[in-house]
Chains A and B, each alone.
Chain A
Amino acid sequence: MKRAYLPLILLLILVLQGVSLDLLPGNLLRSDWLIVSHWVFIFLVFIAVFYDNESTHYSVLYALIFGLLIDIVYTSTLGVYMFSYASTIYLIYGLKKLLHGNILVVALLGSVGLIVSDGMIYLIYSVVGLTDIPWSMYLTNRLLPTIGSNLIFLFVLYPLFAKKLTNWGKDQITKGNSF
Chain B
Amino acid sequence: MSFLRKKRLFLLLIGFILLVALIGFSLRDREDLTIIEEIVNDTVGWAQSVVHAPVNWVTNVTRNIGDFKDTYEENKLLKQKLAEYKGLIYEVQELKEENEDLRKNLELTESDAIRNYNPIQATVISRSPERWLEQVTINKGKDNGVKKNMAVITPEGMVGKVMTPSKHTSTVQLLTGFDQFNRISGEISRDKGDNIFGMIEGYDKKSKHLIFRIIEESQKDVKKDELIVSSGMGGVFPAGLPIGKVQEVVPDKYGLTKTALVKPSADMYELNQVIVVDRSVQTDEGQESEEEEEE
Which A residues contact B (CB, under 8 angstroms)?
A: 11-12, 14-23, 26, 29-30, 34-38, 69, 71-80, 82-83, 86-87, 121, 124-125, 128, 130-131, 133, 142
Contacts and interface: CB of A to CB of B under 8 A. Distances in A.
A21 B126 CA distance: 9
Interface magnitude class on chain B:
35 or more
Contacts of B129: 17-18, 20-21, 36-38, 74
B78 interface: no
Interface residues of chain B: helix, strand, loop or mixed (majority): helix
Contacts of B56: 19, 22
Pick from B18, B37, B131, B133 the residue with the most CB of A within 10 Å: B131
8 closest cross-chain pairs (CB), A and B = A18-B126, A79-B22, A74-B128, A78-B22, A34-B131, A83-B19, A78-B26, A37-B129
B59 A131 contact: no
Contacts of B33: 76
B125 interface: yes
Given A30-B269, A79-B22, A15 B135 contact: no
Contact of A35 (B19, B131, B205): B131
Pick from B19, B52, B164 the residue with the most CB of A within 10 Å: B19
Contact of A128 (B21, B23, B41, B269): B23
Contact of A36 (B15, B36, B130, B269): B130
B44 A26 contact: no
24 contacts: A16-B51, A17-B129, A18-B125, A18-B128, A18-B137, A19-B48, A19-B52, A19-B55, A21-B127, A22-B55, A23-B59, A36-B130, A36-B131, A73-B41, A73-B137, A74-B130, A75-B135, A76-B33, A76-B135, A79-B21, A79-B26, A82-B22, A124-B23, A128-B23
B44 A130 contact: no
A87 B12 contact: yes
Nearest to B177: A130
B130 to A, nearest CB: 5
B26 to A, nearest CB: 4
A94 to B, nearest CB: 10
A11 B51 CA distance: 12
Contacts of A71: 22, 26
B47 interface: yes
Contacts of B48: 15, 18-19
Contacts of B25: 78
Interface string B245-269: 0000000000000000000000001
A21 to B, nearest CB: 5
A75 B130 contact: yes
Contact of B135 (A11, A12, A16, A74): A74
Given A36-B129, A76-B26, A22 B59 contact: yes
Contacts of A22: 55-56, 59, 127
Contacts of B12: 87
Nearest to A127: B23
Contacts of A125: 132
Contacts of B70: none
B82 interface: no
